[in-house]
Amino acid sequence: METSSKKMASHLTDIPDHLLAEIFLRLPDPADLARASAACVTFRRLATDGSFLRRFRRLHAPPILGFLWAGGMFYPTLPPHPSAPAAHALDLAADFYFTFIPSHYRWTVQDIHDGRVLLEGDIEKDERPPVFKDLAVCDPLHRRYVLLPPVPHDLAASLEHPFPMVSEAPWCKAFLVPLGEEEVASGETTFRVILMANCKTSLAAFVFSSSTGQWEAAASKGWSDLALGKHDMAEMSWVHPFILRRHYAYDCFYWDWVEFGRKKLLLLDTRSRKMEFSIADLPPGEWSTKGGIAIVEAGEGKLGMFGFHGETSSDLSYTIARNKGKSPSQWQMEKTISLDYGYRYFIRDATQRYLASQGEKPHL
């Protein structure tokens, strides 16, 4: 029996690498790939190859393990979802209260990407909010963290007076820059954090890189330089960007004004060291101001958008930009998905290949 098993293993490793790769690509779950890679050195070498991992991740979206609330509460995926066992294991192993970070702060979650969580130090209720709050990036599973240094005085001094407080929203907001496919495949451990400032007449962005351990200026632009009409500029510049929903696709961040009835997107292009702010148009139509939208990657460098037409619609529309690039000018309706009638739907987020939405029964 033992001899037979050895012969079978020997025959499997004799299969050419390109055929093994095609077999591994058809494995239904990333956990199956991990088990296969543990079988022998040949399988592990192939399963950890960067080009193979890029192909595998295009076909297999990372599993949904749960939702992490701002206060650190983790809600794992529950049965019968196939990710429930992994989600339960993560819930037991990780520290989502961040007790491993030495600080007198109560940390609040600002963003999460690639297994890293961006945290902001919460102040006491009676304290005056500082211009820049303390930030940390951590890995709650392995209990590793980095405390970010304060923004240098010369960068802070380059900002004009802050935007007036709206619903106690901060005038500086930090978020993570997701890793690219090649960075993920290579097991890259570096990260970048963008700190965006909303001033009275302009927007600015600073970026922190864990490679250099320093902050630097990344982008700055006046509202009057964003090619907006007078009416749009008057409306949009007085709506605090940080109470808007943020989207990410093809190395660009997007903020939409749908909630306030404006069919515009604010863009921050991060594809070069000198980042840039600009404005783009949404697809035509009466998009629900309460249901929200989601900007996604549609493939071939084109943007896609999910949204609801009308305030009471239960039909989810998917629209794709005809032209490639960060600023789409032409859109085409791709499909309409009919959801259960009798609910009001709200798009909460879009990540990888998943769209998170919430349905509520309307009050009678």
Give the model's confidence band at 130: pLDDT under 50 very low, under 70 low, under 90 confident, else very high. low
Q: If you write DSSP's letter for every residue of 99-151 in order, what string do you get?
A: TTS--SSEEEEEEEETTEEEEEEEPPTTSPPPSS--EEEEETTTTEEEEPPPP
Residue 2 parent element (H or E):
helix 2-13
How far CA 183 is from CA of 186, 188, 191, 306, 327, in Å, comes to 5, 5, 10, 28, 25
Kindly calculate the radius of gyration of the chain based on its CA atoms and give it in whole angstroms.
Answer: 23
**Helix/strand/coil for 296:** strand
Question: Which tens digits make up the pLDDT trace of 324-351?
Answer: 776 777 889 999 999 988 888 999 999 8
Check if the beta carbon of residue 287 is closer than 8 Å to that of residue 263: yes
What percent of the chain lies above the pLDDT cut of 90? Answer: 40
The tens digit of pLDDT for each residue in 209-236 reads 999 999 999 999 988 888 677 777 767 7
Q: What is the DSSP letter of 225?
A: G
Q: Which of 22-36, 49-63, 85-99, 342-356 has the highest mean pLDDT?
A: 85-99
Looking at residue 167, its pLDDT comes to: 45
pLDDT in tens, 257-289: 888 888 889 999 998 888 999 998 888 888 988
Per-residue pLDDT at 3 exceeds 60: no
**Rounded Cα gap, residues 211 and 12, in angstroms:** 41
Integer Cα distance of 348 and 290 in angstroms: 11
* Cβ count within 10 A of residue 180: 12
pLDDT of residue 12: 58
What integer pLDDT is reported at residue 124 of this predicted model?
64
Q: Angle at the Cα of 307 (from 303 to 308), degrees rounded to 5?
A: 155
Cβ-based neighbour number of residue 66 at 10 Å = 19
Alpha carbons 302 and 328: distance in angstroms, whole number? 8
